[in-house]
C-alpha cells in the first residue's frame, strides 16, 4: 500500500468517526488531485479545460454522497478512482461527447497532489437556483456565505435539525440537478 | 461557487453519514420478506400435499432452482454496490446460479417419456405463475433497489437487473410453496419467464432510480 492510500484511508476513517477536520483535509486533497487529473484527461481528449472545475465539484459531491459505498476494510484509491471515472464519463456523455477513459491511468496522476489557489465554477450555482427555496437558502448560507449550521439556523429562524436535513437534501438535490442538466 | 465553499458545505453535512448498503439491507430485508409472505398468504394457499412433495426430487429441484437464483442474486447485489465492480465479471456467477436448473432439465429428459413432455411443460394454470411470482417479488425488489441506492453501482441498469433477478428468485421460492407443477420443464419455462419479468422491471427501475 502506498503512503497516499494509507493517508487518504485514515482521513476517511477518521471522518466517518466524526472528525470534521480530517474530512476537510481529505476533500481538499482530493480536490487538488481531481483537478489535475480531470484537466489532463480533458486536454488529452481535445476538450476545453474550462469545464474542469465543474466536473471536480460534481465528483466531490458524488464522493460525499456515496461515501457509505466504500468498505472501510478495503483500499480507498480503487474506490475513488471508480467514482471519479464514473462522474467524468457521466459528465462527458451529458455534454454529448465521445469518451474513453483509461482506468489504470488514474492512480498515478491522482498520486501527485499539488496545491492550487481557490477555484470557482458556476454550474452548481445554476443548479442551486432550481432547488426548493428552503434547501437552496440553506446550502447557499453554508457554502457561499460560509456560515455554520448553527448560524444558519439563527439567520433563517429554523431549528438546527431542520438546517441539517435541508442541507443534506439540498446537496443530494444538487447532485440530481447536475445529472439532469446538459452542461 | 468556489470549490472550497462546496467543501465547506460537505464538511458541514458529514455528521449524518448515510447508511451503508449492508446496513440498509439489514433494515429493509426483514419487512420486505414479511411483505412478500403476507401477499402470498393473502392470495394463495400452500399446496395440501406439501409433505409428500418434499419427498419428490422434482419438487426439491424446483425449490433449489429458486433458492439458487435468490442466493446468487443477493450475493451479486452486494458486489454491485461498489463502483469499482465491473458487472461484466458476473456472467459466470449467473451461469452458476442457473446450474441447478440445467441439472434438473437433464434429469427430466432422461426420466420422463417423451410423450409426456409437452403436458409437463404446460402444467396447469401457468398464467398464475407468471403473474404471481412477480407480484410476490415486488416488495423484495423494492428492498433490493433501496439497498443499491445506498451503494454506487457502476451500471445502474445492470444493478437494477440483478436486484430483479434476486427478487424474482425470492418470489419463485415462496410461490413454490403453493404451486404443484413440479416438472423441470415447467420451471424452466414459466418460473424463468416470471424471474425474467422481475429482472426486466428491475433493470428499467434501476436505469432511472439508481443513477448517481
CATH of the domain at A93: 1.10.1740
- Residue A175, domain extent: 123-180
Work out the percent of chain A whose per-residue pLDDT is above 90. 57
From chain B, pick out residues whose CB is under 8 angstroms from the CB of A60: 3, 6-7, 10
Which residues, numbered 48 to 77 in chain A, qualify as contacts with chain B under a Cβ-Cβ cut-off of 8 Å? 53, 56-57, 60-62, 64-69, 71
* pLDDT tens string B27-84: 999 999 999 999 999 998 888 888 888 888 999 999 999 999 999 999 999 999 999 9
User: Cα–Cα distance between A37 and A57 in angstroms, integer?
Assistant: 13
Helix or strand or coil: residue A129? coil
From chain A, pick out residues whose CB is under 8 angstroms from the CB of B212: 62, 65-66, 86, 175, 179
- Residues A80, A8 share a domain: yes
- Residues A48, A104 share a domain: yes
- Residues A105, A33 share a domain: yes
Average pLDDT, chain B: 94
Average pLDDT, chain A: 86
User: Cα–Cα distance between B118 and B133 in angstroms, integer?
Assistant: 22
- Residues A101, A35 share a domain: yes
Asked if residue A73 belongs to a domain, the reply is: yes
- Residues A143, A106 share a domain: no
- Residues A129, A106 share a domain: no
C-alpha cell at A51: 469545464
- Residues A105, A19 share a domain: yes
From chain B, pick out residues whose CB is under 8 angstroms from the CB of A122: 1
Which residues, numbered 88 to 117 in chain A, qualify as contacts with chain B under a Cβ-Cβ cut-off of 8 Å? none
pLDDT band at A2 (very low <50, low <70, confident <90, very high): confident
CATH of the domain at A169: 1.10.10.10
A13 contacts chain B (CB < 8 A)? no
pLDDT band at A104 (very low <50, low <70, confident <90, very high): low
Average confidence (pLDDT) over B88-99:
94
Q: Which residue of B has its CA nearest to A16?
A: B17
Q: Residue B3's closest CA among A67, A73, A34, A76?
A: A34
Asked if residue A117 belongs to a domain, the reply is: no
The pLDDT, as a whole number, for residue A114 is 55
- Residues A145, A88 share a domain: no
Q: Which residue of A has its CA nearest to B82?
A: A69
Query: What total of structural domains would you count in chain A?
Result: 2
A96: alpha, beta or left? (left if phi > 0; alpha if psi -120 to 50): left
Sign of the CA dihedral A43, A45, A47, A50?
negative
pTM beyond 0.80, yes or no: yes
Domain assignments of chain B as residue spans, ordered by start? 19-209
C-alpha Rg value of chain B to the nearest Å: 20
Nearest to A164 among B4, B16, B152 (CB): B16
Asked if residue A163 belongs to a domain, the reply is: yes
* pLDDT tens string B119-163: 888 988 899 999 999 999 999 999 999 999 999 999 999 999 999
Hey, which residues does A120 pair with through a beta bridge? B2
- Residues A103, A26 share a domain: yes
B130 neighbors B190 (Cβ within 8 angstroms) = yes
Hey, which residues does B2 pair with through a beta bridge? A120
Amino acid at each position: 500500500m502506498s503512503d497516499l492510500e494509507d493517508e487518504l484511508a485514515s482521513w476517511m476513517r477518521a471522518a466517518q468517526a466524526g472528525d470534521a477536520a480530517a474530512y476537510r483535509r481529505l476533500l481538499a486533497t482530493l480536490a487538488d488531485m481531481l483537478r489535475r487529473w480531470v484537466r489532463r484527461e480533458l486536454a488529452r481528449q481535445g476538450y476545453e479545460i474550462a469545464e474542469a472545475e465543474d466536473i471536480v465539484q460534481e465528483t466531490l459531491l458524488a464522493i460525499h454522497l456515496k461515501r457509505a459505498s466504500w468498505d472501510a476494510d478495503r483500499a480507498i484509491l480503487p474506490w475513488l478512482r471508480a467514482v471519479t471515472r464514473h462522474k467524468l464519463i457521466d459528465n462527458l456523455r451529458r455534454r454529448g461527447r465521445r469518451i474513453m477513459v483509461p482506468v489504470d491511468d488514474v492512480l498515478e496522476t491522482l498520486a501527485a497532489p499539488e496545491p492550487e489557489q481557490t477555484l470557482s465554477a458556476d454550474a452548481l450555482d445554476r443548479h442551486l437556483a432550481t432547488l426548493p427555496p428552503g434547501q437552496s437558502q440553506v446550502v447557499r448560507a453554508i457554502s457561499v456565505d460560509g456560515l455554520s449550521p448553527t448560524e444558519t439556523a439563527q439567520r433563517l429562524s429554523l431549528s438546527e435539525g431542520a438546517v441539517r436535513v435541508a442541507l443534506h437534501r439540498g446537496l443530494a438535490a444538487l447532485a440530481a440537478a447536475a445529472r439532469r442538466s446538459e452542461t | 461557487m468556489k470549490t472550497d465553499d462546496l467543501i465547506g458545505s460537505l464538511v458541514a453535512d458529514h455528521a449524518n453519514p448515510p447508511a451503508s448498503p449492508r446496513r440498509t439491507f439489514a433494515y429493509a430485508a426483514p419487512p420486505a420478506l414479511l411483505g412478500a409472505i403476507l401477499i402470498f398468504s393473502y392470495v394463495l394457499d400452500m399446496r395440501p400435499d406439501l409433505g409428500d412433495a418434499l419427498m419428490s426430487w422434482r419438487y426439491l429441484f424446483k425449490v433449489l432452482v429458486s433458492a439458487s437464483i435468490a442466493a446468487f442474486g443477493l450475493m451479486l447485489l452486494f458486489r454491485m454496490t461498489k463502483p469499482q465492480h465491473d458487472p461484466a465479471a458476473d456472467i459466470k456467477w449467473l451461469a452458476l446460479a442457473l446450474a441447478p436448473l440445467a441439472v434438473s432439465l437433464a434429469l427430466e429428459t432422461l426420466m420422463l417419456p417423451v410423450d409426456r413432455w409437452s403436458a409437463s411443460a404446460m402444467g396447469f394454470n401457468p398464467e398464475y405463475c407468471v403473474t404471481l411470482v412477480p407480484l410476490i417479488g415486488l416488495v423484495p425488489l423494492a428492498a433490493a433497489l433501496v439497498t443499491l441506492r445506498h451503494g454506487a453501482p457502476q451500471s445502474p441498469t445492470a444493478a437494477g437487473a440483478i436486484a430483479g433477478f434476486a427478487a424474482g428468485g425470492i418470489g419463485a421460492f415462496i410461490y413454490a410453496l403453493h404451486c404443484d407443477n413440479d416438472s423441470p420443464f415447467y420451471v424452466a419455462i414459466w418460473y424463468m419467464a416470471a424471474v425474467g419479468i422481475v429482472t426486466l422491471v428491475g433493470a428499467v427501475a434501476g436505469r432511472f432510480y439508481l443513477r448517481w
